Amino acid sequence: MLKPIHRVACSPALAACQRLMQRFALWLCDPTTADAHLNQQGLQPPVLASGIEADWLWEFLQRVDAGQSLLSRAQALAAMPAAQKAALAAWVQTVSALPMQFQPAPAQWPVNRPVASESDWKAFKVLMEAFYEKGFRGGLPYLPNGTPTAAGGVNYADYVSAFRNAHRLNPAPHAREVCVLCGGPLGDTPHVDHWIIKSAFPLLSVCTDNLQLICSTCNEAPNKGDKPVHSAGDFADWFHPYLRPGNGALQLDYVLPELAVRCSVATPADQAKAANLDTLLNLSNRWTREFKAEYAKHQDVLIRREQRRIQNAQARHTQAEIQSYVQQWQADLALSEPHYEIHQTLAVALQEPSRLAAWHSELGLAS
C-alpha cells in the first residue's frame, strides 16, 4: 500500500465470478430451494445469468474436496432450516456489499459465524473457498472483460501475470519488482493475498477488491498472516488496497538518534489508519532493519575508502566530501527499485549536520 494498487485487465472476470457466487449462495438460501433442485437443468437461467455459467457451475460442483463432492456441500445448504437460510442470506448480502463499508454510516460488518450449525458453516466455507482453490486455478467461465465463455476463461496464472505487469515500475524484463504493500522486493515467490481472510469470509475468495499480489514476507506471520483488517467489524480506521488506498497518505519519518524509521502520515485524521497498517505488517520494524542495513553498507564503503586513502598517503575525507558522497548516492536512487522510500529517507537523514559530523568523526578513527 506504500505503492499505488490498481485493478487489472482481468478484474472484470473476477467481479463476474463474485456475482455468480453471490447469486448461487442466495439461491441456495431461498426458502423454496431444496436439495432436489440442484441439477444441471435447475441451474439454468433465470437461476443463473447464462447457460454457460450454469454448465460451468454444474461441472464445478462435481469436484471433490476431502472425500466429498462440492455438490453434496451445496445440497446441505439447500436443506438448511428456513431460519438458518435467512441468517446466511443476510450475511451474504452484507459481505457482498463490501464497498459500502468505506462509505458514511455503513451497515454493521459481521464478526461472528452467521449460522449456528458448524457443519452447515463448514459446507458453505468449503464450497465458497473452492471457487478460488479449484475454480480460479482451473479457469473461471469468463473472458478478461467478464463475458461468459465456455473455454479459455481467466485463471490464477492469468491474474498473477496481469497484476505483475500492471504494477511493474521498470518495464525492463529482468528488472526487480516491488511489493505494493511494503515497497520491498516482490521476490521470486509472491503470494496472492486475500486482504480480508477467506477462512472467515469465504464469499470473498475471488473478489476483485479482495485480491492483490504481495511479497511472501508481508503475507506470512508474524506480519499479515490471518490478522483481521478491521476493528471488530469497523473499517473506519483502516486503509484498504482499492477502496481506501494508503499510497500518498503514508510517509516514512526517521528518528536519527535511534537510526529508526516510523510509519506515519501527513494528515492527523489518517494516523490511526497508519498505526493499524504498521501493526498489521510490522512496517516500522522491517523498514528500520533495512534503514540500518543500508546505513551499515555505506558506512563500510566510506571506511574502506578512508583506509585506502591512508594506505596511499592521501588526504582524509572532509565533511564536505562525505556530504557529496551521500548526495551523489541520493541522486542515483531509482523510484522503480525496492526500498526506494527507505533509502531516500536515509539519504535525507545522513545529511543532517549532526550526522555528517558524527560520520566524519567515525572515519577519523579508521586506520
- Quote the pLDDT of residue 365: 83
- Interval 22-51 mean pLDDT: 97
Closest to 337 in 3D by CA, of 157, 134, 179:
179
More confident residue, 194 or 367: 194
Report which secondary-structure segment, H or E, holds 192.
strand 191-194
The DSSP-derived string for 59-116 is HHHT-EETTEEHHHHHHHHHTS-HHHHHHHHHHHHHHHTGGGGGSSSPPPPP-S-SSS
Q: pLDDT tens-digit profile of 106-143?
A: 999 999 999 999 999 999 999 999 999 999 999 999 99
- Nearest-angstrom CA–CA distance, 236 and 256: 32
- Nearest-angstrom CA–CA distance, 17 and 96: 12
Alpha helix ranges (H) inside the chain: 11-28, 51-61, 70-78, 82-96, 118-130, 137-138, 156-166, 216-219, 271-281, 283-311, 319-331, 340-350, 353-364
Which long-range CB contacts under 8 A does 298-303 form with residues at least 24 apart? 298/325, 298/326, 298/329, 298/350, 299/359, 299/362, 302/359, 302/363, 303/362, 303/363, 303/366
Query: How confident is residue 99, by pLDDT bands cut at 50, 70 and 90?
Result: very high
Give the dihedral sign, CA 21/24/27/29: negative
Strand partners, 265: 250
- Nearest-angstrom CA–CA distance, 181 and 287: 12
- Quote the pLDDT of residue 120: 97
- Quote the pLDDT of residue 248: 86
Residue 31, C-alpha cell as written in the block? 426458502
Sequence letter at residue 246: G
Those residues whose C-beta lies under 8 Å from the C-beta of residue 315, and which sit 6 or more positions away, are 309
Query: How confident is residue 344, by pLDDT bands cut at 50, 70 and 90?
Result: very high
- Nearest-angstrom CA–CA distance, 30 and 42: 14
- Nearest-angstrom CA–CA distance, 265 and 273: 9
The pLDDT > 90 percentage for the chain reads 93
pLDDT at 367 over 90: no
- Nearest-angstrom CA–CA distance, 33 and 246: 43
Domain residues of the chain, as ranges? 11-154, 248-367
* Model confidence, pTM: 0.92
